[in-house]
Amino acid sequence: MRFATNEDLPGIVEIYNASIPLKAATADLEPQSTSQRSLWFAQHSEEHYPIWIREEEGRMAGWIALNPYYGRPAYRITAEVSLYLHPDFRGKGLGKEMLLFAIQEAPARGFRNLLGYIFEHNRASVALFEQCGFTRNALLPGLADMDGFYADLGIYQLVL
């Protein structure tokens, strides 16, 4: 695991875009460009809201980010977790390693809570977060129109 650099943004976007057609990991319905994701990327830093890259076989296998939650100062102790894997590396245990790494690193950045926003039909992600100690604290039925079905969103929390 290493911190993401500006040079990693195209690979981050490529992995993110690979998840869009599955309609299971993001509410974006169209591929994003690096310029569209550049503001999001700029909001991250090694000190507080890191993005970590996982490399395998000499290439980017996935990334995990701690993102701001809600934008009000009192919520600075809470981060939302984003985790995306390249299709070639899904189902190999890397996601669990990456999530456990982020959980271990989060307190040093001042976080007391981690949140995962997970579509309930994404059973693999739900199982991963639950295996790592997250608990579903909210269910928002039919929250997202995924162009063909309405997806329920679970909010999963881990108190560190």
Query: What distance in Å separates the CA atoms of residue 8 and residue 1, rounded to the nearest whole number?
Result: 13
Residue-wise pLDDT for 9-52, tens only, equals: 999 999 999 999 999 999 999 999 999 999 999 999 888 899 99
pLDDT confidence of residue 87: 95
Q: Could you tell me if residue 127 is inside a domain?
A: no
Q: Could you tell me if residue 111 is inside a domain?
A: yes
Q: What is the DSSP string of 42-111?
A: HT--SSSS-EEEEEETTEEEEEEEEEE-SS-GGGGGEEEEEEEE-GGGTTSSHHHHHHHHHHHHGGGGT-
Listed as own residue / partner, the contacts of 27-33 with beta carbons closer than 8 Å and 24 or more positions apart are 27/144, 27/146, 27/151, 29/146, 29/147
Q: Could you tell me if residue 156 is inside a domain?
A: no
Q: Could you tell me if residue 157 is inside a domain?
A: no
Q: Could you tell me if residue 23 is inside a domain?
A: yes
Give me the CATH number covering residue 71. Answer: 3.40.630.30
Q: Structural domain tally of the chain? A: 1
Which element (helix H / strand E) includes 30? none
Q: Could you tell me if residue 134 is inside a domain?
A: no
pLDDT confidence of residue 152: 98
pLDDT, averaged across the chain: 95
Q: Which domain holds residue 77?
A: 2-117
The pTM (predicted TM-score) of the whole model is 0.94
Query: What distance in Å separates the CA atoms of residue 64 and residue 66, rounded to the nearest whole number?
Result: 7
Q: Could you tell me if residue 129 is inside a domain?
A: no
Q: Could you tell me if residue 41 is inside a domain?
A: yes
